[in-house]
Structure 1
Amino acid sequence: MATVSFSGVTKSYGATTVVSGLDLELADGSMTVLVGPSGCGKTTSLRMLAGLEEVTSGNIRIGGQDVTRLEPKQRDIAMVFQNYALYPHLTVRENIAFPLRAKKTPRPEALRRADDIAASLGLGHLVGRKPKDLSGGQQQRVAIGRAIIREPAVFLFDEPLSNLDAKLRVETRTELLRLQRRLGVTSLYVTHDQEEAMTLSDRIVVMRDGHIAQAGPPEDVYRHPADTFVAAFVGSPKMNLIDGAVAAGELRTQSGLRIAVGGPQATAVTIGIRPDDLELSPDQDGSATVELVELLGPRAIVTVRAGEHILTSVVSAAALPELPVGATVALSAAASEVHRFDTDSGLRLPA
């Protein structure tokens, strides 16, 4: 186990800078998740830690040792890719044991340890099969087992679950988190899926254009987004963001949208409301109209329109009879659940 630190790390390709002045600490034994849209620099950051990309400036340390210019094999890391990269001619047992065999570990010892790890990953009954005889989730677990057997100081995960279907993704995510907690190995995980980031991380790092937009415990980032970018990116369905003015506890926009939000007066502000916190009430004098209803078992996502504004609300399925498509509704949110941002800068305003 080891701490990891990025200090002023920058990566440029010619005149294009993809990661700029990255300062990041990974606590010993923690699971840190880098999340952000495509092109934000998260995978490049992970690849620099792995030694697969050269650092333009700055330095990277693992366990206090400067590894910035070391080869990947000298960094004591193990990496799990989006592509499982299993050897098709080897069995599950042999695939997992391969890193030990490459180090000249005696075959009986390597296979014994591979069997132990396969059992811990729920693959004990599959050790004699070839990759073509496994499901996607099973193949990914073999790839994880191959990384574990090396007993590295740091685990790196590059979108390892993106090739799995929704059910397998959730199951494998749970197994991966349980395994990381048990092993206590410092881990850096890259994903574009903010739900994965929220559920897996001890610390979530939201990246944008090569910079860290916000970093912290997932609940803190969700409840107190630093700006409108983070507010819109973290959370599903995404936060409703509306520009307007607040007077007498009501947000009003130029198109006539009105939402009861409470709080202080503001002549120009961007209001953020999570769909779970946006309340809909049938009202003939309301400013919005129900446009779409998506049933999700006990809950439903209701889309409403008011002029150019399209907003979403998560409601109980029991409330749907009062919210048919075409119904006029009033909108409100508890003042304590309303987020306020500066309209020009997008930055969060003090409470």
Structure 2
Amino acid sequence: MATVRFSGVTKAYGSTSVVSDLDLELPDGSLSVLVGPSGCGKSTTLRMLAGLETVTSGTITIGDRDVTHLQPRDRDIAMVFQNYALYPHLTVAENIAFPLRANKTPRREALARAATVAESLGLSALLGRKPKDLSGGQQQRVAIGRAIIREPSVFLFDEPLSNLDAKLRVETRTELAQIQRRLGITSVYVTHDQEEAMTLSDRMIVMRDGKIAQQGAPQDVYARPADTFVAAFVGSPKMNLLEGTLTGGTFTLANGFALPIDEGATDGPLTLGVRPDDLLPTVGAADAPARVALIEHLGPRAIVTVDARGTELTSVVDTARLSGISEGTGVELAVRQGATHLFDTTTGRRIAGETR
């Protein structure tokens, strides 16, 4: 078993806490992703698990072992970094085999195992090449192979795809997810990219200011964000968050713009959240209070920015439904049934009992 547990873990530099009283359990065999904006504590959390940062207080266990104060080499982990850190003078086979050679494994045996790992990563044809002769995605797979060959209890990934271009990043993250699921090794992955976190993880941990804002299955976090921070961070384009007053099924902004919604909370002031996919514009009268400010075409879909009496709203619309809608068009806005998110304006916390 290689369940990872953080129990009351704090990391402080002087009087400044970077991670505060962290309680977190990552199940055996899971791929858990720590995600959040810069400075939220996600990389520090990973580095404490790796033994690259000391723990100010609390304990970290891997399986039934307390590893809080163990050296990195004694934790039975393997780490893949943002920069691939390959040895330029060694071949692909020699780079993958390096951890075994460092542990005095005979060269023939180490290279044979490297060849097996390389085959699982689609690198068999590249075993004799040097890193300079590889693409970025191929170099990253070599770095992953070097981690796999150690057969660790836990894989750690520190933003390993951030140096790749967009197309290669998508391809490589798919490969990485398939590799992790095939091996079934507990993995902890750090990224600032919420889309990457959504597509990769079994469990998504959103961090803010050194604490966990929300954790759970990616789709659960997306569908029921715990507060306005998570609501705005998870999802692209980000959720529309509007402050106003609910009265009998009509939500009214301070500027007087009114939006009909499903009733799901007590009348009064609140913050309304609506995903862009759930905000539905239709052609309105010439003097409609909402007007299309910008349309960004993305093939089968388009991002429509609407000016509602000075408040900017974002809608994502199938191109086929754009008939009659162009920049400058007056529009009526509706919210898809059952798709509202209601939050307390003062605390930012989700209001229990809303429609979704």
**In which range does the TM-score fall when normalised by the shorter chain?**
over 0.9
Query: Is the contact made by 1:304 and 1:311 (CA closer than 8 Å) also made in structure 2?
Result: yes
Q: CA deviation at 1:30?
A: 0.4
Deviation at 1:341, TM superposition (A): 0.2
Is 2:282 the partner of 1:281? yes
Equivalences for residues 119-158 of structure 1 within 5 A: 119-158=119-158
**Alpha-carbon distance, 1:319 to partner:** 2.1
Structure 1 runs, 4 residues or longer, greater than 4 Å off = none
2:338 is paired with a residue of what secondary structure?
helix
Q: Which amino acid in structure 2 is aligned with residue 258 of structure 1?
A: A
2:234 and 2:186 map into 1 onto residues whose CA distance is 24
Structure-to-structure mapping, 1:196-235, within 5 angstroms: 196-235=196-235
**Whole-angstrom CA distance in 2 between matches of 1:271 and 1:335:** 14
> Is the Cα–Cα contact under 8 Å of residues 249 and 265 in structure 1 kept in the other structure?
no
- The answer as to whether partners of 1:249 and 1:260 remain within 8 angstroms in 2 is yes
Match of 2:329 in 1: 327
Q: Distance in 2 between matches of 1:290 and 1:331?
A: 11
Q: Which position in structure 2 is the counterpart of 1:349?
A: 351
RMSD, aligned α-carbons: 1.0
Q: Which residue of 2 aligns with 1:79?
A: 79
CA contact (8 A) 1:27 1:186 kept: yes
1:191-233 per-position Cα deviation (integer Å, ceiling 9, x unaligned) = 0000110111111000000000001111111101000000000
- Report Cα offsets for 1:31-52 as digits up to 9, x if no partner: 1100000000000000000000
Once the two structures are TM-superposed, the CA of residue 335 in structure 1 deviates from its matched residue by 4.0
Matched residue of 2:38: which SS? coil
The structural deviation recorded for 1:286 is: 3.2
* Structure 1, unaligned runs of 5 or more: none
Q: Is the 8 A contact 1:256 1:287 kept in 2?
A: no
What CA deviation, in whole Å up to 9, does each residue of 1:105-127 have, x standing for no partner? 01011101111111111111111
**In structure 2, C-alpha distance between the alignment counterparts of 1:336 and 1:26, rounded to whole Å:** 32
Q: Helix, strand or coil: the match of 2:322?
A: helix
CA contact under 8 A between 2:248 and 2:267: conserved in structure 1? no
Of 84-93 and 246-255, more deviation after overlay is shown by 246-255
Q: Does 1:26 align with 2:26?
A: yes
Give % identity: 68
Counterpart check, 1:308 vs 2:321: no
Equivalence for 1:272: 273
Partner Cα separation in structure 1 for residue 78 and residue 244 of structure 2: 50
Deviations, residues 139-162 of structure 1 (Å, cap 9, x unaligned): 000000000000000000000001
In 2, the alpha carbon distance for the partners of 1:142 and 1:307 equals 54
Pairwise mapping of residues 104-123 of structure 1 onto structure 2 (< 5 A)? 104-123=104-123
Asked if 2 retains the 8 angstrom alpha-carbon contact of 1:246 and 1:266, the reply is: yes
The residue aligned with 2:177 is 177
Number of residues paired by the alignment? 351
1:89-142 alpha-carbon deviations (Å, 9 max, x no partner)? 001110000000000001011101111111111111111111011111110000
Q: Deviations over 1:226-252 (max 9, x none)?
A: 000000001111100000112232211
Shift in Å, 1:265: 4.9
Q: Could you tell me how far apart the structure 1 residues matched to 2:33 and 2:204 are?
A: 5
Q: Normalising by the residue count of structure 2, what TM-score does the alignment of the two structures yield?
A: 0.97
TM-score norm. by structure 1 comes to: 0.98
Deviations 1:287-342 (A, max 9, x none): 21111111111111111112332111110111223210011111111341000000
**AA paired with 1:302?**
V
SS of 1:182 mapped into structure 2:
helix
Q: Deviations over 1:156-206 (max 9, x none)?
A: 000000111111011000000000000000000000000110111111000
Find the residue that maps to 2:60 and give its secondary structure: strand
Could you tell me how far apart the structure 2 residues matched to 1:154 and 1:313 are?
A: 41
The answer as to whether partners of 1:248 and 1:262 remain within 8 angstroms in 2 is no
- Asked whether the 8 Å contact 1:195–1:235 carries over to 2, the reply is yes
1:57-76: per-residue Cα shift (whole Å, max 9, x none)? 00000111111000000000
In structure 1, what is the Cα distance between the partners aligned to 2:257 and 2:140? Answer: 48
In the other structure, the counterpart of 1:251 is 251
Measured in 2, the distance between the counterparts of 1:41 and 1:286 equals: 46
Report the Cα distance in structure 1 between the residues aligned to 2:40 and 2:246, rounded to whole angstroms.
34
One-letter code aligned to 2:279? L
Greater mean alpha carbon deviation, residues 21-30 or residues 248-257: 248-257
Report the equivalent of 1:15. 15
